[in-house]
């Protein structure tokens, strides 16, 4: 019980709890879209591209202060958006670049980021915190930022679910019907980049993909219809976050890694339960 009370006793844990829950809400909402659009590798590519922005930002700003966090976020977002813009253009209407091109993109951005960090930013911040996530680096700004993102992104996607559903089911038919599918494509990329950059301190470049994929895969396999995939995915992400944070605190495990492993375990347990439940009903 005291392990639960910890989250409301220590301010950094309270901050981590609410930041992670906000991130779970955002990723849970976007996840079914990313999985359906087959953008899994693209999400990894954006998060790795973000490392270049972080490395450049760390050359100029300290991450421990709220002001430093704000400018670091801004510069990371800007650089990541610039880096992923060609990929967003190339993927419109299924003109997917080859896997090799995406691989080239993220190894180039990540490699350059590491070199820049080594040359200029290594004394100001720990890049490892961004690779695997570190809730100790979270500031009040990060919490407010994730809260604001929830207030903007959630209505944009949740209230427009039927539009997103048609866009996901058949983009060509949606375009013929008069839907501005190009806008939807770029809004998705923009929201994805925002969420990834804002969530780096919690899950890290490498592990944030678990948030972007596993809730969506779970929802698409278990939800009875398209509309409820969003709700299923969000609830899954929230449950995994609460369990992951509790375990990380109780066992003194790294948060990013614990969240990723808990999501995978929860996924297999839930799918197993659903399969058994369906068999029992038959």
Partner 1 sequence: MSEVILKVEGLCFSYKPGDEVLKNVTFSVHAGEILGILGPNGGGKSTLFKCITGQLMPQSGKITFFEEGLEIPRPAMTYLPQKDFANDSFPLTVHELLECARLPHALVPQEEITAALKRVSFEKSPQLMLRNLSGGEFQRVLLAKAYLSEAKLILMDEPTKGLDGVGQDNLLSLIQEFKKEKEAAILLIEHNIAQVLRHGDRLLCLNRTYHWHNERDQLEKNILEHTYHCEFEHLMIHETKGDILDHEHHACDHHHSNEEHSDQGEKE
Give the footprint of partner 1 on this chain (CB under 8 A).
35-36, 93, 162-163, 165-166, 168-170, 172-180, 220, 223-227, 229
Residue ranges of alpha helices (H) inside the chain are: 2-9, 11-36, 40-60, 66-91, 99-116, 127-132, 140-158, 161-169, 171-176, 181-222, 226-251, 255-281
In the complex, the smallest distance separating the C-beta of residue 225 from partner 1, rounded to whole angstroms, is 5
In the complex, the smallest distance separating the C-beta of residue 166 from partner 1, rounded to whole angstroms, is 4
In the block, residue with structure tokens 């890290």: 204
- The residue among 210, 228, 236, 68 whose CA lies nearest residue 162 is 228
Which of 4/275 has CB closer to partner 1? 275
In the complex, the smallest distance separating the C-beta of residue 179 from partner 1, rounded to whole angstroms, is 5
Which of 62/172 has CB closer to partner 1? 172
Please say whether the beta carbons of 255 and 133 come within 8 A: yes
Which of 220/242 has CB closer to partner 1? 220
In the complex, the smallest distance separating the C-beta of residue 87 from partner 1, rounded to whole angstroms, is 21
Token representation of residue 5 = 């009370």
Which of 205/226 has CB closer to partner 1? 226
In the complex, the smallest distance separating the C-beta of residue 168 from partner 1, rounded to whole angstroms, is 5
Which of 42/77 has CB closer to partner 1? 42
* ∠ CA 25-267-228, rounded to 5°: 50
- Provide the terminal-to-terminal Cα distance of the chain, rounded to the nearest Å: 40
């Amino acid at each position: 019980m005291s392990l639960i009370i910890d989250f409301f006793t220590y301010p950094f844990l309270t901050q981590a709890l609410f930041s992670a829950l906000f991130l779970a809400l955002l990723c849970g909402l976007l996840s079914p879209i990313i999985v359906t659009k087959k953008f899994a590798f693209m999400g990894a590519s954006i998060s790795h591209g973000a490392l270049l922005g972080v490395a450049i930002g760390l050359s100029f700003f300290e991450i421990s202060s709220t002001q430093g966090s704000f400018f670091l976020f801004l510069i990371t977002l800007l650089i990541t958006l610039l880096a992923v813009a060609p990929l967003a253009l190339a993927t419109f209407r299924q003109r997917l670049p080859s896997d090799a091109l995406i691989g080239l993109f993220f190894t180039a951005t990540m490699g350059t980021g590491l070199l820049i960090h080594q040359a200029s930013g290594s004394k100001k911040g720990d890049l490892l915190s961004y690779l695997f996530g570190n809730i100790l680096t979270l500031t009040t700004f990060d919490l407010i930022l994730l809260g604001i993102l929830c207030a903007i992104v959630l209505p944009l996607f949740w209230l427009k679910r039927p539009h997103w559903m048609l866009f996901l089911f058949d983009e060509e038919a949606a375009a013929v019907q008069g839907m501005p599918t190009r806008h939807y494509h770029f809004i998705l990329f923009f929201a994805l980049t925002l969420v990834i950059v804002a969530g780096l301190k919690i899950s890290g470049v490498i592990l944030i993909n678990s948030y972007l994929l596993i809730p969506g895969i779970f929802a698409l396999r278990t939800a009875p219809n398209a509309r409820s995939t969003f709700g299923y995915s969000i609830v899954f992400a929230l449950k995994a976050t609460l369990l992951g944070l509790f375990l990380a605190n109780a066992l003194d495990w790294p948060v990013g890694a614990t969240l990723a492993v808990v999501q995978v375990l929860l996924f297999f347990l839930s799918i197993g339960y659903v399969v058994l439940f369906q068999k029992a009903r038959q």
